[in-house]
Homo-oligomer: A and B are copies of this chain.
């Protein structure tokens, strides 16, 4: 079998315990079976990790991976995936981020970077093509991500591409993220804490190799078609170029889907004060992109007056607005922008941070915790006076920040008194910003999400349910197949890797992947591949003990009606498992299913009969 195009055929493995680095061959069958990015990373993670290891132990690994489209000049192909076992959820974690770091890994000559072991002292990794150095980083320990990136570049070269952690990662906050290229986040699930547990402050890449594809002529022609598709899709200009994801605030608030007051209500009048229009009119400076993307979804914003004047951030995305504007009910867009900026600097996932604060606010409102617990801080919904201190205290684990730093699941375990019922998480992962009581498919996205209660895995169910006219969003009917389909579309995008905001049509994407790899993938082949990846992800979690009973949601969503609706979880699960080919009692993929996906090795590992 020939080496697939678009890939380097090499994996770099760095053992921080021994300081040794070696390049290993990438099995070309892995590209054919799992593509790259999320798919490749899932397969590698399953193989590399021993079951049951502690996420913050040296036995955990960090696997950075890129895909056949990475850095090929196509809009949206500046992404990488990172895989590890999550300290927040204890299960499978992938996270994607973008801009220069992923393409630079490809230019260094690798398709994946596996970091294992633990450095004896704070360190950073410098990869310059085939030269690998583990350098001392004690002087950088304690620094925020913006300064860390600058200092590393000062020491290495201004053109080095840097992914790093902030104090949150150092202090093992289980929802600490990895930040690369001035504020792009591999956000969810705590990959930053895993990096911190390895004493790894940063990774700097400097590559000099050319990115090539198997059929350059065909690829070039397809690029033109892709650009036309992107430009002619009204979402590109009307939504992404104008608002980024902030436009979602108005539509989700109007539809009664955006949660407020820690999911106690929807349709908040605050929605109008934190909308995409408010951002555009009062905060937007300019749009920016991950080169060479033409969609330019990223909004550089600044606060010009009030207590947060002087704050600048790229974003915030809808999910950040949901977490701070929705869950915490901050009606000041400036406060949300501040939270966005400082979560990036401290290396905190904005979503878990905001949802955790919102949860504490409800506990405070109910008297479950009081000023004695919070160090005297009044945690009232809507009051953002303590926000700067809270964010700092979470990252550095001072005072009550040390409690918030544990995330909603562990806080609820600590607080007790029924607070578990409204700790808005699934498998420990704080939920995305869509209330499934108003859009039932999302219940499956959260309950069965491969990395826990995140919207990412299947967020495309929402437009289907809300505006396609093909579904009743308030019923469970048809949602199993819809969510499975939505998940697989996302797996494909994450494995190519290409940004999900890039409006390249799926048949064109299949042709691009084929031209890049030299494999003749039909779109059907690729969805089959995505299904395979989804099952590897599920198998990882099954190996860690996940069964049907773990595929659940906070009781608030199951028992507390909102606009007359609760989530009919059992009906939804039955439907979804059937669509997936998973055992209805246990939620484990059947042997037949895994066999159909050419995953017999995994079926054997799971001991399936």
A residues near B, CB below 8 A?
Answer: 139-144, 147, 151, 154, 166-167, 285-286, 300, 302-305, 307, 309-310, 312, 345-346, 388, 392, 395-396, 398
Which residue of chain B has the shortest Cβ distance to A151 in the bound complex? Answer: B285
Query: Given that A142-B304, A285-B139, A304-B141 are contacting pairs, would A309 and B396 also be in contact in the complex, using a CB cutoff of 8 Å?
Result: yes
Closest to A139 in B: B285
Are B167 and A396 in contact, CB atoms less than 8 angstroms apart?
no
List 27 A-B pairs, Cβ < 8 Å.
A139-B285, A140-B285, A141-B304, A142-B302, A142-B303, A142-B304, A142-B309, A143-B302, A143-B310, A144-B310, A147-B302, A147-B312, A151-B285, A151-B300, A154-B286, A166-B310, A167-B309, A167-B310, A305-B396, A307-B392, A307-B398, A309-B392, A309-B396, A310-B345, A310-B346, A310-B395, A388-B388
Q: Write the nearest CB–CB distance from A345 to chain B, whole angstroms.
A: 7
Please determine whether B142 and A305 come into contact, CB atoms closer than 8 angstroms.
Answer: yes
Q: Among the listed B142, B285, B310, which residue makes an inter-chain contact with A392, where contact means beta carbons less than 8 Å apart? A: B310
Cα of A516 to Cα of B416 in the assembled complex, Å: 78
Residue from A139, A154, A166, A302 with most neighbouring chain B CB atoms (10 Å): A302
Chain B contacts for A166, CB-based, 8 A? 310
Chain B: minimal CB distance from A340 (Å): 14
Further 10 A-B residue pairs, CB within 8 A, beyond A144-B310, A144-B312, A166-B310:
A141-B304, A142-B310, A143-B302, A143-B304, A143-B312, A154-B286, A167-B309, A167-B310, A305-B396, A307-B392
For A304, list chain B residues within 8 Å (CB). Answer: 141-143
Q: How far is the CA of A139 from the CA of B166 in the complex (A)?
A: 29
* Cα distance, A302 to B305, chains bound together (Å): 28
Nearest opposing residue in chain B for A170, CB measure: B304
Complex contact B139–A286 (CB within 8 A): yes
A302 cross-chain contacts in B, Cβ below 8 A: 142-143, 147
The residues of B that contact A142 with a CB separation of less than 8 Å are 302-305, 309-310
Chain B residues near A312: list those with CB within 8 A.
Answer: 143-144, 147
In the complex, how many angstroms separate the beta carbon of A26 from the nearest chain B beta carbon? 35
Q: Which residues of chain B come closer than 8 Å to A286, judged between CB atoms? A: 139, 151, 154
Quote the shortest CB–CB distance from A286 to chain B (angstroms). 7
The chain B residue with its CB closest to the CB of A150 is B312
Q: How far is the CB of A400 from chain B (nearest CB, A)?
A: 14
A167 vs B312: C-alpha distance when bound (angstroms): 13
Q: How distant is the Cα of A309 from the Cα of B345 in the complex, in angstroms?
A: 12
Query: What's the Cα separation between A302 and B154 when bound, in Å?
Result: 15
Contacts of A395 in B (CB 8 A): 310
Q: Which residue in chain B gives the minimum CB-CB distance to A155?
A: B286
A143 to B337: give the CA distance in the assembly, Å: 14
| Nearest chain B residue, comparing its CB with the CB of A144 | B310
Of all chain B residues, which has the CB nearest A300?
Answer: B151
A304: nearest chain-B partner, CB-CB? B142
Query: Chain B: which residue is nearest A142 at the CB level?
Result: B304
Inter-chain CA distance A144–B341, complex, in Å, is: 14
Report the Cα distance A395→B308, complex, angstroms: 12
Distance (Å) between the CB of A25 and the closest chain B CB?
38
Contacts of A305 on B, CB cut-off 8 Å? 142, 396
